[in-house]
């Protein structure tokens, strides 16, 4: 499959076009969301939610459960390959992959979902199921978790931030429309750029070539020559536009902009996360949580390892281990983990049996029958394992967990009412909760994750 060409923002200036994009899709989106959907926060639970934010590490392509969170050392070479020495964690009885030694020291802070399943092996359809909690074929394209959380938590009186309520680092997830049938303003604000570069160029907010002083000068110049706006300030629509512009400028020049300034962190902290795109993306996510952003997705690809799988794992897993362990510890130290859900996983897993033959040379393919997820914080208990696979990791034999089971559990921790409805353009009834919608049969659910909530 040909790789999609990634957009690059590093050389872009903050132009008038990109500025107004930030108005319409960034802060301005928050304002219009509040204007049009002010009843959304009324559909939050009356009890105080345990979670205020979500950091989703979207491992697109499908990470391998046998090499990470569900090792099977006795399955033999055709299943384990060279990664056949799992390590003990700081929770007795829980072992994880040998390339994750830093996470092994923090198992008391997270839980492992070893019973994940849905049976689908197509990137697009599996991603849709895992991100939305819906099965294809309902006749509607539902929004993903990020869009739903930004709708409800972004309207919460607790969230007063100038930053968009749904941010993707660094590029959109792809594979499906994140906002589904909801308006395009529920799409995520994508930062672009590379957080490990200096400076981190954020589209429409931080530029490599235009200084902050020059941006302030431009703002004053525009204000001085914009006689039309001054003459029409009593017009309601002009007031809306002016308010959106001021909020957008607060992202470019105000306190909100600081969320993206990783150089404010100490050298030691940046080194702790790892001086690479993923490591600095995790550090950025922590800074956004500190500013109250309800949903952050780190789009972390490279897991679609049909060929030379173990070569890729020897590079990716130490990077993953370093950054995720730093994120969990940093959130803990700053007393943010209790209010922040951290989830890691992809659209499916990889085949337990390895393809050694030409042309795969030790590859793993798509596998949706059994895979693992990592969950921490926001009301999820640590030090637990939910679900079990057989001796080769090919089948879930205890406590199956379907995507909608995880999503509904997250919605409850976030305080989203089980009867909450999504705004549909044709006025159709569309529930945020797939259980409430009645589209999940008893044979296709293991129920909410009450064991760890």
pLDDT in tens, 35-72: 345 455 566 665 679 999 999 999 999 999 999 999 99
The domain of 346 spans 38-147+163-199+262-452
Q: Does 379 reside within a domain?
A: yes
Average per-residue pLDDT for the chain: 86
Read off the pLDDT of each residue in 430-441 and give the average, rounded to a whole number. 92
Contact 391, 434 (CB under 8 A): no
Q: Does 231 reside within a domain?
A: no
**Which DSSP string corresponds to 223-276?**
HHH-HHHHHTTTSHHHHHHHHHHHHHHHHHHSGGGGGG-GGGS-HHHHHHH-SS
Q: How confident is the model at residue 177 (pLDDT cuts 50, 70, 90)?
A: confident
Q: Scan for tokens 């030691």, then name that residue.
A: 268
Q: Does 256 reside within a domain?
A: no
Read off the pLDDT of each residue in 187-203 and give the average, rounded to a whole number. 88
pLDDT above 70: percentage of residues in the chain: 79
Q: Does 301 reside within a domain?
A: yes
Contacts of residue 76, Cβ cutoff 8 Å, sequence gap at least 6 = none
- The per-residue pLDDT for range 282-313, each reduced to its tens digit, is 999 999 999 999 999 999 999 999 999 999 99
Tokens of 208: 């490599």
192-201: b or e for each residue (b if 16 or more CB lie within 10 Å)? bbbbbeeebb
Read off the pLDDT of each residue in 124-141 and give the average, rounded to a whole number. 92
Handedness of CA 313, 189, 132, 53 (dihedral sign): positive
Q: Does 71 reside within a domain?
A: yes
The domain tally of the chain equals 1
Q: How confident is the model at residue 110 (pLDDT cuts 50, 70, 90)?
A: very high
Q: Which of 372, 352, 306, 359 is nearest to 77 (CA)?
A: 352
Q: How far apart are CA 97 and CA 203, in angstroms?
A: 37
Instruction: List strands edge to edge, sheet with 295-299.
Output: 189-190, 166-169, 295-299, 53-58, 340-345, 371-376, 110-116, 384-386
Q: Does 445 reside within a domain?
A: yes
How far from each other are the two terminal CA atoms of the chain, in whole angstroms? 40
Q: Does 5 reside within a domain?
A: no
Q: How far apart are CA 154 and CA 148, in angstroms?
A: 9
Contacts of residue 89, Cβ cutoff 8 Å, sequence gap at least 6 = 95, 96, 103, 104, 105, 107
Work out the angle at residue 293's Cα, subtended by the Cα atoms of residues 265 and 449, and round it to the nearest 5 degrees.
110
CA-based radius of gyration for the chain:
22
Q: Tell me the pTM.
A: 0.85
Residue 32, pLDDT above cutoff 60:
no
Tokens of 366: 């798509």
Contacts of residue 101, Cβ cutoff 8 Å, sequence gap at least 6 = 87, 321
What pLDDT, on the 0 to 100 scale, is given for residue 5? 38
Q: Does 15 reside within a domain?
A: no
Long-range contacts of 206-213 (CB under 8 A, 24+ apart): 206/257, 206/260, 206/261, 207/12, 207/13, 207/14, 208/10, 208/11, 209/13, 210/13, 210/14, 212/253
What pLDDT, on the 0 to 100 scale, is given for residue 9? 34
CATH number at residue 314: 3.40.720
- The per-residue pLDDT for range 237-287, each reduced to its tens digit, is 656 666 665 666 566 566 778 889 999 999 999 999 999 999 999 999 999
């Amino acid at each position: 499959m040909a790789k999609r060409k990634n957009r690059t923002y590093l050389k872009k200036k903050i132009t008038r076009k990109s500025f107004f994009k930030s108005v319409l899709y960034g802060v301005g989106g928050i304002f219009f969301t509040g204007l049009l959907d002010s009843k959304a926060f009324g559909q939050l639970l009356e009890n105080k939610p345990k979670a205020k934010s979500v950091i989703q590490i979207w491992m697109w392509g499908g990470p391998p459960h046998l090499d990470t969170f569900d090792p099977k050392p006795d399955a033999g070479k055709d299943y384990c390959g060279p990664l056949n020495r799992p390590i003990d964690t700081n929770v007795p009885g829980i072992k994880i992959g040998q390339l994750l030694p830093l996470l092994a020291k923090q198992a008391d802070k997270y839980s492992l979902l070893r019973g994940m399943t849905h049976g689908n092996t197509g990137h697009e359809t599996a991603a849709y199921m895992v991100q939305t909690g819906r099965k294809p074929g309902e006749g509607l394209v539902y929004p993903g978790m990020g869009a739903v959380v930004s709708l409800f938590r972004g309207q919460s009186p607790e969230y007063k931030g100038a930053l968009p309520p749904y941010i993707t680092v660094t590029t959109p997830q792809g594979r499906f429309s994140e906002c589904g049938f909801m308006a395009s303003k529920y799409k995520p604000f994508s930062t672009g750029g590379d957080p490990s570069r200096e400076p981190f160029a954020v589209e429409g907010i931080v530029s490599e070539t235009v200084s902050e002083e020059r941006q302030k000068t431009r703002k004053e110049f525009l204000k001085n020559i914009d006689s039309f706006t001054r003459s029409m300030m009593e017009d309601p629509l002009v007031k809306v536009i002016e308010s959106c512009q001021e909020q957008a400028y607060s992202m470019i020049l105000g306190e909100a902009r600081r969320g993206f300034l990783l150089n404010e962190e100490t050298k030691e902290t940046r080194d702790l996360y790892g001086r690479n795109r993923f490591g600095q993306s995790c550090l950025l996510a922590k800074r956004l949580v500190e500013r109250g952003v309800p949903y952050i997705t780190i789009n972390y690809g490279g897991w679609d390892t049909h060929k030379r799988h173990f070569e890729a794992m020897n590079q990716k897993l130490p990077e993953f281990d370093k950054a995720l362990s730093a994120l969990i510890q940093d959130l803990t130290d700053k007393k943010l983990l209790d209010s922040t859900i951290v989830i890691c996983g992809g659209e499916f897993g990889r085949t337990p049996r390895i393809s050694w033959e030409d042309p795969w040379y030790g590859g793993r393919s798509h596998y949706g029958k059994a895979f693992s997820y990592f969950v921490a914080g926001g009301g999820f208990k640590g030090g637990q394992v939910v679900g079990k696979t057989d001796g080769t990791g090919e089948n879930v034999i205890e406590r199956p967990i379907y995507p909608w089971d995880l999503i509904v559990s997250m919605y409850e921790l976030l305080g989203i009412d089980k009867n909450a409805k999504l705004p549909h353009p044709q006025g159709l009834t569309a529930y945020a909760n797939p259980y409430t919608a009645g589209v999940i049969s008893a044979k296709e659910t293991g129920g909410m994750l009450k064991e760890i909530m």
